[in-house]
Amino acid sequence: TSEARVRAGLDQIERREGAVGAWQHLDPEYAMQQARALDRGPARGLLHGVPVGIKDLMDTADMPTRYGTRIYENHRPAADAACVALTRAAGGVVMGKTVIPEFSCYTPGKTANPHDVRHTPGGSSSGSAAAVADCMVPLAFGTQTEGSIIRPAAYCGVVGYKPSFGLICRAGVKALVDSLDTVGVLARTVPDAALFAAALTDRTELLVENTRISPPRVAVCRTYEWKEAAPETAMALDSAAATLAGAGTQVKDLQLPEAFKELNAAHTVILKFEVARALAYERLHHFSSFSPDFATLMKSCEQCTVEEYDAAVRIAETCRRVLAGVFASFDVLIAPSAPGEAPEGLGYTGNRIFNRIWSALLVPCIHVPFFKGPRGLPVGVQVTGPFGEDARTLAIAHRIHGQLADERVVP
């Protein structure tokens, strides 16, 4: 029953929330009311009775929505974000709101990594990734503009799915970078992530059991940021390539074309220019309420010029066209999801260096965990497919995840 599933999640939250701190708002009785109501009625959809964590960047009509900032301490939206409304329509139980950093950018919240609470869970989908990893909920929402789904999924050892840009409706999600913001999901398996996305989009082709695939052509892409990779990330990528090749998959190394050398920096310019405008009201009327780190970021954003922005957009558009040609020879690319294990300390959510280019390219990305680093913390790889080819990319990621299932510990 839904009641049993919600009760199990609430029991786990009671045991672990004091250490993990995944939840910004939680009303156990309201969660149980939703579950009981669903148990009394007919099946409503693909998510019937399933508890779901809602990232606190998303509006909820029946719960506070804080966007990670004291500016919106008592904010109560008039309506649900579209993705939240669609979750309810598909039978999902809205368990509560998960913690995010300030405006989903900097100044982390209280959440710790459930594998070792001395370490960051990543960000900005911090609470969502931690809640899924710690079995508080089986599904939770994330959003990604830089690396806010893939990196916390990597650090917390769960599956993170950043869809092709625009696949999941983002109406009612606090806008930060309009040309890049993407709603996605966190789960413990690729089929669960696909199920969640299918429920939100009416695209049953996303369900991995509905997609037949032949052995994929896989490219190993270390990217121009490879110097930032820790030994455990290098070993994970090499191990993944060797395991896949040993299973009969065609695996080749790929060096991205020269144009991609500028893409990481271009993404940062696009982000700064657009976030300064998306948060114009808060910047102009509530600047003194920003944390010191966020205030510094906003001052930097204000200095970004139109000319710099237009040049960065041209770089991103060029790389998107070039990448389409790369995928003529490969079905998916595997690449690092993060520089290494989750860093120690809760004041920094980790380096986004391996995430920015893929967010700028707007393509579907799926983190699959399978490895453990020297501290026993999760490591994995990102599976990336062509824009719009989410169903096939999910199916291949599921296949790859199964082939990489044995966790290894780096000495």
The residues carrying an active-site annotation are 55, 124, 148
Q: What are phi and psi of 34, to 5 degrees?
A: -60, -45
Tally of CA atoms within 13 A in the half-sphere of 54 that contains its CB: 33
Tally of CA atoms within 13 A in the half-sphere of 316 that contains its CB: 24
Judge contact between 315 and 104, C-beta under 8 A: no
The residue type at 49: G
Which residues does residue 93 pair with via DSSP β-bridges, in sequence order?
51
User: How far, CA to CA in Å, does 378 sit from each of 66, 333, 381?
Assistant: 30, 20, 10
CA quadruple 372, 376, 364, 326: dihedral sign: negative
Q: What are phi and psi of 390, to 5 degrees?
A: -65, -40
- 3-state DSSP call for residue 93? strand
Q: How far apart are CA 334 and CA 382, in angstroms?
A: 5
Q: What are phi and psi of 362, to 5 degrees?
A: 70, 15
40: CB partners within 8 A, 6+ apart: none
407: CB partners within 8 A, 6+ apart: 370, 371, 372
DSSP structure string for 95-132:
EEEE---BTTTBS--S---TT-TTB---SSSHHHHHHH
Q: How far apart are CA 354 and CA 337, in angstroms?
A: 6
Q: What are phi and psi of 51, to 5 degrees?
A: -70, 140
Judge contact between 391 and 201, C-beta under 8 A: no
Q: Which residue, among 184, 138, 182, 131, has the nearest Cα to 156 in the 3D structure?
A: 131
- As to burial, measured by CB atoms within 10 angstroms (0-12 exposed, 13-18 middle, 19+ buried), residue 186 is buried
**Residues comprising the chain, all counted:** 411
- 3-state DSSP call for residue 171? coil
